[in-house]
Structure 1
């Protein structure tokens, strides 16, 4: 049986491109986003009582992957990017139905004019991601401390970061524009977002956070920020 899904909300996120988005939610607590409620769900009644909960489940879609299809096996980065496992034994983005789920922290529910907004943090969603459902996180049933995580049992070791002297003025300017930028950048780079097959010494990488291009190199297993450049306005 086929079922047509319509978004209940759209996500505003600091992540403007897929590269460097954390591979799991809550790895970057400084990533703050807003869920803009849509159509019939943009009403007080739908959100009544939501603020009783500290965390939420988001059911969402990989909206930029649909045309690329999917494969029955994938190569998880945690296994070095070479070992193949079944798609259902992974959280890969290319899936039969293109759906994902994330636990995020609820900050507040607000209203701007006629727009109802749910503000959350710890998200791992691209800007513009469609949200198909929002559910409360219930600790007594959703938190399972004895669960086994297979090849992803342990959290990855975070990488250190430093800002090179030449980039300090740009770094300070970025913090003036976005007070949480330093935490956001450090937490994003701590996950080592480089592809497993592309970790060349001293190669420069870049990621778009908000409207800034963060550039860095990995030197002696340390993320060294080389520049923070404003992006040109969108056409």
Structure 2
């Protein structure tokens, strides 16, 4: 039988478009996000949560719903060429479009009429609906020796070089770190390798133009 889920809040994120978002949480430590709970949830709803270093966030891939889902998908880790079953991947194109991220909990702000949960290592689109929040419990949920299928360790990072005309010195240090860490993840589709192509991404309100070739990201402009 069908069920109805009502979001408990929304995500405030520096990523306002899908292109450029990290493919997993914690890959970009500089990605600071805020979980903004609806007014119905008061300080009582998060009492004791500040005693945990990490939280599980369940959310809705709202921007992928219109794209539907498929039984098999092409994971970026496999170069976008080999198919795997959707339930063997973290693809947003799922039957119920539910996502799960493990986030570092920095602090909780309960002042005013909204609860704000500040986290880092976010991999979420701005405006993402929040479905639930749960504390991360290491003894029950950490299994570092477990097999990870076709996912063998963290992806290799690209080197990031700022062209002088991009004026990186004008950026706040936290914004520069966010941009560098995000682009180092290689946001291109896994099957795409066109050195002469100029890509664009919006990160922390900055319009980035860059090229990628030979393991190097060259940032051409930052407006």
TM-score (norm 2): 0.96
**SS of the counterpart of 1:64?**
helix
Map of 1:109 onto structure 2: 108
Q: Which runs of 5+ in 2 are unaligned?
A: none
Match of 1:223 among 211, 217, 222: 217
CA distance in 2, matches of 1:183, 1:148: 32
Output one character per residue of 1:123-174: Cα deviation in whole Å (capped at 9) or x when no partner. Answer: 1000000110000000111110111111102111111111011212xx2223
- For 1:4-19, list aligned pairs within 5 A: 4-19=4-19
Q: Conserved in 2, the CA contact under 8 Å of 1:174 and 1:228?
A: no
What is the total number of aligned residue pairs between the two structures?
223
Aligned residue runs from structure 1 range 91-170, under 5 A: 91-168=90-167
1:55, distance to aligned residue in structure 2 (A): 0.4
The equivalent of 1:31 in structure 2 is 31
What SS does the corresponding residue of 2:170 show, helix, strand or coil? helix
Match of 2:187 among 182, 186, 193: 193
Unaligned runs of 5+ in 1: 230-235
1:21 partnered with 2:15: no
TM superposition outliers: structure 1 runs of 4+ over 3 Å: none
Instruction: Give a deviation string over 1:200-222, Cα, whole Å, max 9, x none.
Output: 01311111112111111113321
Secondary structure, counterpart of 1:115 in structure 2? coil
Show the counterpart of 1:78. 77
Question: For 1:8-63, what per-residue CA distance to the aligned partner results, in whole angstroms no more than 9, with x for missing partners?
Answer: 1200000000011111000000000111111422x011010110000000000001
Question: In structure 2, what is the Cα distance between the partners aligned to 1:214 and 1:31?
Answer: 16
Partner of 1:233: none
In the alignment, which residue of structure 1 is the partner of 2:169? 172
Tell me which residue corresponds to 1:212: 206
- CA RMSD in angstroms comes to 1.1
DSSP 3-state at the match of 1:16? coil
What is the deviation of 1:112? 4.4
Cα distance in 2 for partners of 1:18, 1:182 equals: 19
Q: Is the 8 A contact 1:8 1:39 kept in 2?
A: no
Residues 70-123 of structure 1, C-alpha deviation per residue, up to 9 Å, x if partnerless? 110100111111111111111111000000100000010013421110000001
User: Does the CA contact (< 8 Å) of 2:43 and 2:110 recur in 1?
Assistant: no
Match of 1:59 in 2: 58
1:47 aligns with 2:46: yes
